[in-house]
Amino acid sequence: MIHLPDSERLGVAPLAVDAFTAAMAAAALRPSPFSNTGMIPDHGSGADAPAFVDFLKFTLKGMRKALDRARRIDAHQHVDGLEELREALGVTAASDWESDFVTPQESANAAFLLARLEDKRPAPDFEALSPLAVERGLAVIGRTFVRECAPALVFGELTGRGRDGYKNHLNIFTHLGENCGFIAVGGNGDTIHVNLTGQACQRVDLAKLADALDGVDHKIGRIDAAWDDFEGRYGDPAGAAENYRHGGFTPQKGVRSEKVCFFDDMGTGNGSTFQLGDRSSRMLRIYSKGKQLGNKTSPWVRYEVQYMAAAFDLTTDNLRNPGLLLLQYPDLDFLPVIGQGEPCMRVRRETEISIDRVVNWARTVVGPVLTLLADSIGCTTTIELVANDKTPRRLRKLANSRKELSDNLADALLDSRKFAPIASKSSYLSAETRNLQ
């Protein structure tokens, strides 16, 4: 039997796993973990989670000048056969008699000759860059810029296809191969356009990214600020719709948006959504996040406000404190939003609900089929015939390795049957204590 590492079983390159491992190790040296390490502190079931950024779009400007500057620096290192002589003269010019046995006159002569050689250095011969070369250079700059703030993200190659008005783009992935954004280049004044989804944002050190953006010419095009009410203590989508009917969400200045809709699940448990506003300026979404993920009884409600730069002046301070974007929305100032922090509990709850949903599907759909097969050909033969080492794409983001994913699924399955007769059998008890032995 050929052994396959977890990375290959999960369908991602070992380089991606190495990047995530390096991020974990780097974070261990920090006083507190940040979101791109995958480390999830336990806040307790009733704790209020901090506000977080669930979508980010920004553009880097003036990067063509940085590309040309790098070319000039590289061109000045042009080899003309005199590099060793320049180095020797430089050492002599910086020496003195006491330590290096060089007379002041010899040092002065060396400095004079070195200056003459620098004047004679051949001028750089610049050739016009092709459009593809410019795109590649800008892509490298954009990739390096983001990677410094999110070492756990993995970057693909330029696809040759346009996106969002740009001529070319490369995709961004999580360490488990999930597409979570892109970097677009080509045209638009040689700017670099970066688009990060919620999966990417939770792996980005946003404070570090904000500091990096402060050092360059940029424009933030969109920020989605969100907050999770895990226990449903502050309302639900139906309550938000009722508030709107009674004049709620009206700003002190200006008029309330008339673009409003309420999607009612009619008690099916699939989750309701209240939506108010315009995608081109500002939009409020209040929806049943837990039910959306498959738990029909979950009280988890998410409050999310999408801000667009076309209508608002978005700054790096909004990345450092996204809670302010929520609190400034009409009728949301009652939320106990913690303005600063990382999206920690959100990841844990979302993972737990998704795993429970998979286990429930396996019991109700796959279980009966496997039972019928086992009745005919036996359990061992059935497992050997249907075994598949591939990990479904929808499960890749739920764990950092195949072992962790299998353990999480097993724990959820055992927990779902803890009141069944099988729980008293030795096989169940052995499986429950498998990691303690």
Binning pLDDT at 50, 70 and 90, where does residue 274 land?
A: very high
Q: For residue 257, count other CB atoms closer than 10 A to its CB.
A: 17
Enclosing H/E stretch for 59: strand 52-60
- Model confidence at 124, pLDDT cuts 50, 70, 90, reads low
pLDDT digit string, tens, across residues 299-353: 999 999 999 988 888 989 899 989 888 988 889 888 888 655 433 344 556 666 6
- Averaged pLDDT, 277-285: 92
Q: Name the pairing type of β-strands 52-60 and 168-173.
A: unpaired
CA angle centred on 52, ends 47 and 53, rounded to 5° = 165
Task: State the CB neighbour count (10 A cutoff) for residue 241.
Answer: 21
pLDDT surpasses 80 at 393: no
For 127-279, list the strands marked E by DSSP: 154-155, 168-173, 179-185, 192-196, 218-229, 260-263, 273-277
Residue-wise pLDDT tens digits, 75-98: 555 555 566 677 777 777 777 656
Q: Yes or no: say if 352 and 290 are a contact pair by the CB < 8 Å rule.
A: no
Q: Starting at the earlier edge strand, list the strands of the sheet with 273-277.
A: 154-155, 168-173, 179-185, 192-196, 52-60, 218-229, 301-308, 282-287, 273-277, 260-263
Each residue of 246-263: pLDDT tens digit?
999 988 777 888 999 999
Phi-psi region of 44 (alpha: psi -120 to 50; beta: other; left: phi over 0): left
Q: What pLDDT score does 48 carry?
A: 58
Residues above pLDDT 70, as percent of the chain? 76
d(CA 248, CA 284): 13
Q: State how far the Cα of 105 lies from the Cα of 95, in Å rounded to an integer.
A: 11
For helices 367-377 and 379-386, angle between their N-to-C axes, nearest 10 degrees: 120
**CB 354, CB 298: distance < 8 Å:** no
| Residue 42 confidence class, pLDDT cut points 50, 70, 90 | very low
* Contact residues for 425 (Cβ-Cβ < 8 A; gap 6+): none
Neighbours of 436 (CB within 10 A): 5
The DSSP line for 308-331 is ETTTS---HHHHH-THHHHHTSTT
Domain ranges of the chain: 17-64+131-231+300-343, 79-119, 346-432
β-strand 218-229 against 301-308: which pairing, if any? Answer: antiparallel
pLDDT given at position 47: 47
Please tell me the pTM assigned to this model.
0.65
Structure-model confidence comparison of residues 125 and 117, the more confident one: 117
Task: Judge contact between 49 and 345, C-beta under 8 A.
Answer: yes
Q: Identify the residue with better confidence: 295 or 56.
A: 56
**Do residues 263 and 285 touch, judged by C-beta distance below 8 A?**
no
Predicted local confidence at residue 255, as pLDDT = 83
Which pLDDT does position 133 carry in this prediction? 86
Which segment of 52-56, 128-132, 137-141, 241-245 scores lowest on mean pLDDT?
A: 128-132
Separation CA 280–CA 283 (nearest Å): 8
